[in-house]
Amino acid sequence: MIWIKPLVFENIKIAFQSIRGNLIRSVLTILIIAVGISALVGILTAIDSIKSSITTEFTRLGANTFSIQSRSMNVQIGNQHYRSMNYSYISFSQAREFRERYTFPSTVSISVSATQIATVKYESKKSNPNITVRGIDENFLQTAGYDLESGRGLTFRESFEGDNVALLGSALIKKLFPGDVDPLGKTISVGSGSYQIVGVLKDKGSGFGNSGDQIVLLPFTNVRQYFSRPKMNFRISVMPPSPQLLEAAMGEAEAVFRNIRGLNVLDDTDFVIEKSDNLVNVLLDNIKYVTLAATIIGFITLLGAAIGLMNILLVTVAERTREIGIHKAMGANSRSIRQQFMIESIAIGQLGGLLGIFLGIMAGNGVSLLIGTSFIIPWQWMLAGVALCLLVSLGSGVLPAIKASKLDPIDALRYE
């Protein structure tokens, strides 16, 4: 065993000398492998970032929150049609009655959409006409996942008596109150009403079309007065104290609301109960197709890299035929020659893999930067990249290595 180790090290040395001797071809092959690995690692890292962003956005609503809604709803992603319903609206009296009759230990809030194209004014400053205005009660912040940056939320009395008070999103505050101006206590105009700011919401973000920071929250009774329209559709949100109680809370809520709607045992339920994580599960389930497509693209690129690497090694065998003959004449056996070419193939593959992993992580986290998620180090994809490069190297190096090891030393020495 003592003489084997020096031979291995000598073969490694010869392999790297060969790589340096054919630098341009080696670099091109390394780049081809790097492109394949970076495409695979980069896209999969980006997908992990998107999954993290989706999960974060929707879990802000509360993992144990569900809502009772009565509206047209059509959700279709890809070829799958998830829901198609059109039910009558939930009136204010039904929403209020549910809140009063629902005895399951939970936090219940009712809210209603006023408009999504409001313009908010403060003195000479005004926002763009894209502000969401929503009527809420005192429990809405908790069930909707909002936190306060400063000030306070609504009280029970303000919610039901319709006081002219408002909570504003952080982006809207920056627009109307630049610098160090304290917005609390200031009076703004929303539509035809004037409101005193009593609270500022923490930054919630606007990922996936959610204008969580371009928002004004008003008492829902105030919205009924100033933004009145026929058949105002209220939304009921319920948050039990723990996720383990979610199913029981939903069953109780359905039973209570069926009674409020006047349904008998044989009638179909004419409202929608949606858990906060329903849509995120649908999205995450369909992202697997994107992952599959990205993996196929990466493998196709790696297949091209494997063919290129095999071609380079076959050319190397032809160029080094005389050198191989000299090695065999000096006592090198077929195993040693095969080992030398396999080491060269593995070295090129791993150099390309390391470069590809680095580029892939940078590209994938570029997406993370754009959508505002944290830096991701995809350990599983890095290990997969190393393993793939090893397989590509072994697959590409076998044929040239066998061809080189089978050369007759006399014919090889006569080769010009």
| DSSP conformation letters of 5-67 | HHHHHHHHHHHHHHHHHTHHHHHHHHHHHHHHHHHHHHHHHHHHHHHHHHHHHHHTT-TT-EE
Looking only at the bridges linking them, the beta strands covering 107-118 and 66-69 are unpaired
pLDDT confidence of residue 121:
92
Query: How many beta carbons lie within 10 A of that of residue 374, not counting itself?
Result: 11
Q: Look at residue 275 and tell me whether its pLDDT is greater than 70.
A: yes
Query: Which amino acid is present at 241?
Result: P
Report yes or no: 136 and 169 within 8 Å, Cβ to Cβ: no
In the chain, pLDDT over 90 holds for what percent of residues? 21
Give the 3-state secondary structure of residue 296: helix
| pLDDT (mean) for 224-243 | 88
Query: Which amino acid is present at 166?
Result: A
Q: How far apart are CA 66 and CA 69, in angstroms?
A: 10
The b/e string for 8-43 (b: 16+ C-beta within 10 A; e otherwise) is eeebbebbeebbeebeebbeebbbbbbbbbbbbbbb
Residues facing residue 236 across a β-bridge = 68, 110
In tens, the pLDDT along 177-213 reads 887 888 999 999 998 889 999 999 988 755 444 456 7
pLDDT confidence of residue 208:
44
Give the 3-state secondary structure of residue 81: strand
| pLDDT (mean) for 283-309 | 72
pLDDT confidence of residue 307:
76
Q: How far apart are CA 355 and CA 70, in angstroms?
A: 53
- Reported as half-sphere exposure (CB side, CA atoms, 13 A), residue 120 has a value of 29
Q: How far apart are CA 26 and CA 346, in angstroms?
A: 12
**DSSP line for 90-114:** PPHHHHHHHHHH--SSSEEEEEEEE
Q: Look at residue 376 and tell me whether its pLDDT is greater than 90.
A: no
Domain coordinates in residue numbering, the chain: 4-57+283-414, 66-275
Query: How many beta carbons lie within 10 A of that of residue 348, not counting itself?
Result: 31
In tens, the pLDDT along 163-173 reads 999 999 988 99
pLDDT confidence of residue 30:
82
Q: How far apart are CA 46 and CA 95, in angstroms?
A: 42
Query: Which amino acid is present at 86?
Result: N
pLDDT confidence of residue 88:
75
The helix (H) or strand (E) run that includes residue 363 is: helix 334-371
Q: How far apart are CA 43 and CA 298, in angstroms?
A: 9
Looking at per-residue pLDDT, the higher value among 210 and 139 belongs to: 139
- As a residue count, the chain comes to 416
Give the 3-state secondary structure of residue 288: helix
Q: How far apart are CA 7 and CA 11, in angstroms?
A: 6
State the helix-helix crossing angle for 334-371 and 4-21, rounded to 10 degrees.
60
In tens, the pLDDT along 52-75 reads 776 666 655 555 788 888 755 555
Please give the structure tokens belonging to residue 50: 């998107």
Report yes or no: 66 and 98 within 8 Å, Cβ to Cβ: no
Q: How far apart are CA 167 and CA 383, in angstroms?
A: 48
Looking at per-residue pLDDT, the higher value among 95 and 204 belongs to: 95
pLDDT confidence of residue 229:
87
Residues facing residue 136 across a β-bridge = 219
Q: Look at residue 2 and tell me whether its pLDDT is greater than 60.
A: no
Percent of residues in the chain assigned helix, strand, coil, to nearest 5: 55, 20, 25
Report yes or no: 286 and 375 within 8 Å, Cβ to Cβ: no
CA distances from 157 to 14, 136, 162, 311 (A): 84, 12, 8, 80
Nearest Cα residue to 215 out of 151, 170, 148, 169: 169
